[in-house]
A and B are shown apart, each in its own frame.
Chain A
Amino acid sequence: TQLLEQSPQFLSIQEGENLTVYCNSSSVFSSLQWYRQEPGEGPVLLVTVVTGGEVKKLKRLTFQFGDARKDSSLHITAAQPGDTGLYLCAGGSDGGSQGNLIFGKGTKLSVKP
């Protein structure tokens, strides 16, 4: 059974601080997506990474896919209150599991002004 472990589960920081969220597995994924979810809303796709070692940047957010495609990280620079939300990683298996995504349980981020 494929599992994705996210850490930390909760993170509370002050505005301006940097943070990193991790998503780890013993399984290889063909793609890894990161979503952000605000209270009362559905997850919104932030990025998809597909190549081992790939780094993608989205303004102050930097996403990295591990060389072996088993892990990923999300780094936020100079966090702002608007970054508050639940961050979910999800792995795809390129047809395995019938192409269904495996989700981590999420990291709940709170950025205080």
Chain B
Amino acid sequence: DADVTQTPRNRITKTGKRIMLECSQTKGHDRMYWYRQDPGLGLRLIYYSFDVKDINKGEISDGYSVSRQAQAKFSLSLESAIPNQTALYFCATRDGTASTDTQYFGPGTRLTVL
């Protein structure tokens, strides 16, 4: 079984709809991240969480919110989706006690906003 899972894998929605993307991990890592990936722009950090009570904004948090429901679960919400939020979204985890900053990624969610 995959260590980091994301649901749904694909989603098509309309402008103005509220969308939630979910991430679960079985790695036991304390840190979790949400990124979006756009062609030519690479991976950009949306939000990150060091533990259940520690949530931080990344470089492109506007229009997004997150919830860390448990150490293993981190969800990303688009309160009112807009077309320029069409992208690939990735969740990642990291062991905060590890000596390196290595992150481990989920398989991604392809979101299309019409």
Contacts and interface: CB of A to CB of B under 8 A. Distances in A.
Nearest to A105: B42
Given A42-B108, A92-B102, A101-B101, A106 B94 contact: no
B100 A92 contact: yes
Interface string B95-114: 01001111111111010000
Interface of A: 30-31, 33, 35, 40-45, 48, 50, 88, 90, 92-94, 98-101, 103-106
A49 B101 CA distance: 11
A98 B107 contact: no
Contact of B48 (A31, A43, A100): A100
Contact of A104 (B42, B48, B92): B42
Given A41-B108, A42-B107, A99-B94, A33 B102 contact: yes
8 contacts: A42-B106, A42-B107, A43-B90, A92-B102, A98-B48, A99-B101, A103-B42, A105-B42
